[in-house]
Structure 1
Amino acid sequence: MKISVRTVLCGMLATAAIGAGGMAAAQPYPAKAIRMIFPFPPGGPTDLLGRAIAQKMSDQIGQQVVADNRPGAGGNLGLELAAKSPADGYTIVLTSPLIALGPLLYSKLNYDPFKDLQPLSLVATIQNVLLVHPSVPAKTLKDLIQIASKSPGKLSYGSGGVGTTTHLAPELMKSLTKTNIVHVPYKGSGLALIGLMGGDVDVLIMAVPASAPQVQSGKVRALAVLSDKRAVALPNVPTTKEAGFEGLEVPIWYGILTTTGTPKDIVARLHTELVKALTSAELKERLTSAGIEPMNSTPEQFAAFIRSENTRFAKVIKDAGIKPE
């Protein structure tokens, strides 16, 4: 059977038309706004961090990255919402250590942080500092541990609530040093700081940006920064390692995830844009001026880090007798 040139050309044109239609259907990502869920109320350093990243990413990709504050259930509401969103790359979520600690602190989660959320990158850390009331006769971390060892149960520490970093960091210190310091929970770290300044508690571990002014004014005394390097705002305060205590590095860390099942090419694109934003001079300056240190990682590194933090604090939570809610 003879096939005319006309038939061949018509076939080629039809194929091209089908291909063009397919390309039109598969629009390049992102084709619309991306929602960034914040499992926290508006305001504060966490909100500043998320909005700064969202703005920078918006500038880069030509689509809006829209902030969506979803506080509630200790932060689990926002994470659950992200976990149950379509796996299309149009929902991402900013998380704190809750993503690692949630399974240890809550008996009934409506999502699995290890299975339902795809890590993209660690994005930032905020340093913590160990503070004491000026009446406590401790000038160094070693002094404090000696006092606590000689008088078990005499000293007390405040926290922003059960299961927070301000609670678990002192419990880690107690576990490592075999000391007994009584826990006094407050409804928020701000109230805990007021309690420390008033002498109602003796010790508090808190974020550097929120407590540096009180240290500088002499209202509280800083003994050590729980980090591998000194804080810019408190240059004369040694790190816990410099003070002679290994393994007591406990920053407040943040990362961004998306829904598990998101196509690999979209995960890669989101990661690329995050790293580009986090390494920009503009964003670095904006965050560091607020006491936030930007960082980045691969998705695999972030996933491994979440697992390691879960393992690290599982024993601490068990030894402290913290029961899942």
Structure 2
Amino acid sequence: MRTSRPWMTQAATRTTAVHIHHQTNDTTWRSYMTIRRAWPCLVFGAACLCPLPIQAQSYPERSIRMIVAFATGASHILAIALSEKLRESLGQGVVPDFRPGAGGNLASALAAKAPTDGYTLLLTSPTIAISPSLFKNLGYDTFRDFTPISLLATVPNVLVVHPSVPAKSLKELIALAKAHPHKLNFGSGGVGSGSQLGSELFKALAKIDIVHVPYKGASIALTAMLGGEVDMVVSTVPATIPFINSGRMRGLAVLAPERVASLPKVPTTAEAGMPQVVVITWYGMFTRAGVKPEIVERLNTEIVKALRMPDIRASFAKVGLDTAPTTSAEFARFLREETDKWARVIRDADIRVN
């Protein structure tokens, strides 16, 4: 059994009833996995054959600032681990600068004002792909202001229900919701949060009518479900494992193309007949747009090298992070697909942030 990987789509189909474009899995997933298996050979083979330009060889000549969008959780773990590995490989300090606030947008706006010299990095989450469809005045433009360096890690999500809900599978949940429209509800970490968007995607593709109950944070939504306040929540796998294993929550489906090792008995949405419902929480590294390509390449090479180290992979796995290094171009395509995907969900669900 393999752990889930980030889903990088390339095609879309339209669901007429809800006007949401599905994104296909199989061809893209096989292609992406082929790229990932070949990537180490490509990186190190190219490094031997094509020396980097002199500027990239001398870079960096001073310390690098890594602006981090969140001060706790996976972002903190990634920032500390990668800053240490990059310091060793680059020969200069890489200093994490934790700037939480505004759901990650504060850090992105700050990074967008940095010089285009490669000495400022941004470590952030899907916020950078979601926020442009929710807010008018962000202080940054995802595609104009940043150059993607590499995807770093992913965390699969799972759809869980309270034990009192008489549904033992995703199909049974859909049938229950259709038999009792507007009776079931789902909790989320707030309006426009990833947990809401994941639930809205499922709701639209299943063509069911369930009520959104927003809370001030994903952990609060999970607590509310434990208390029986809501019927369903979409959350990250690591956050739900203790409750699923203790029977306080029931995992109906992992929202990923493959099952996860930590929840071996929970089927995927694809197995349940809904392969389009894929919700991956991811983390990526960016720098400013305009940074010289050879510097971006140097940063990508060192980050990928760090992510493939056994100690990094093992330490990340302990907290539910699956390392997911990519090329800069692959990450750019993935970012565009994620941005377009969530823009459609936000539009079709008419999600508005006050």
TM-score (norm 1): 0.90
Partner of residue 286 from structure 1, selected from 287, 312, 315: 315
Please say if residues 130 and 224 of structure 1, whose CA atoms lie closer than 8 Å, have aligned partners that are also in contact: yes
Partner of residue 135 from structure 1, selected from 144, 156, 164: 164
Which residue identity lines up with residue 87 of structure 1 in the other structure? T
State the match for 1:16 in structure 2.
none
Deviation for aligned residue 1:150: 1.2
State the match for 2:248 in structure 1.
219
Partner of residue 159 from structure 1, selected from 188, 191, 200: 188
Please say if residues 125 and 292 of structure 1, whose CA atoms lie closer than 8 Å, have aligned partners that are also in contact: yes
Instruction: Go from structure 1 to structure 2 and tell me whether the alpha carbon gap of 1:27 and 1:145 turns closer, same or farther (over 3 Å shift).
Output: closer
Which residue identity lines up with residue 281 of structure 1 in the other structure? P
Which residue identity lines up with residue 327 of structure 2 in the other structure? T
Larger Rg, first or second structure (1 or 2)? 1
Distance (whole Å) between structure 2 residues aligned to residue 70 and residue 59 of structure 1: 24
Which residue identity lines up with residue 60 of structure 2 in the other structure? P
State the match for 1:28 in structure 2.
58
Please say if residues 56 and 283 of structure 1, whose CA atoms lie closer than 8 Å, have aligned partners that are also in contact: no
Distance (whole Å) between structure 2 residues aligned to residue 67 and residue 30 of structure 1: 16
Distance (whole Å) between structure 1 residues aligned to residue 298 and residue 309 of structure 2: 17
Distance (whole Å) between structure 2 residues aligned to residue 81 and residue 27 of structure 1: 28
State the match for 2:205 in structure 1.
176
Identity of aligned residues (%): 49
Deviation for aligned residue 1:26: 10
State the match for 1:39 in structure 2.
69
Which runs of structure 1 show a deviation greater than 6 angstroms over 4 or more consecutive aligned residues? none
Distance (whole Å) between structure 2 residues aligned to residue 292 and residue 108 of structure 1: 32
Please say if residues 104 and 324 of structure 1, whose CA atoms lie closer than 8 Å, have aligned partners that are also in contact: no
Please say if residues 195 and 234 of structure 2, whose CA atoms lie closer than 8 Å, have aligned partners that are also in contact: yes
Partner of residue 90 from structure 1, selected from 112, 119, 131: 119
Q: Check if 1:253 corresponds to 2:282.
A: yes
Q: Check if 1:74 corresponds to 2:106.
A: no
Q: Check if 1:149 corresponds to 2:194.
A: no
Distance (whole Å) between structure 2 residues aligned to residue 38 and residue 251 of structure 1: 19
Instruction: Go from structure 1 to structure 2 and tell me whether the alpha carbon gap of 1:316 and 1:27 turns closer, same or farther (over 3 Å shift).
Output: closer
Deviation for aligned residue 1:315: 2.0
Please say if residues 56 and 295 of structure 2, whose CA atoms lie closer than 8 Å, have aligned partners that are also in contact: no
Deviation for aligned residue 1:320: 1.4
Deviation for aligned residue 1:225: 0.6
DSSP 3-state at the match of 1:114: helix
Structure 1 residue runs of 5 or longer lacking an equivalent are 1-22
Alpha-carbon displacement from aligned partner over 1:135-174 (angstroms, at most 9, x marks no partner): 0000001110111111111001000111111110000001
Please say if residues 157 and 281 of structure 2, whose CA atoms lie closer than 8 Å, have aligned partners that are also in contact: yes
State the match for 2:227 in structure 1.
198
State the match for 1:126 in structure 2.
155
TM-score (norm 2): 0.82
DSSP 3-state at the match of 1:125: strand
Q: Check if 1:99 corresponds to 2:128.
A: yes
Distance (whole Å) between structure 1 residues aligned to residue 102 and residue 265 of structure 2: 38
Alpha-carbon displacement from aligned partner over 1:100-124 (angstroms, at most 9, x marks no partner): 1111011112111110011111111
Q: Check if 1:114 corresponds to 2:143.
A: yes
Deviation for aligned residue 1:27: 8.6
Please say if residues 121 and 296 of structure 1, whose CA atoms lie closer than 8 Å, have aligned partners that are also in contact: yes
State the match for 1:9 in structure 2.
none
Q: How many corresponding residue pairs?
A: 301
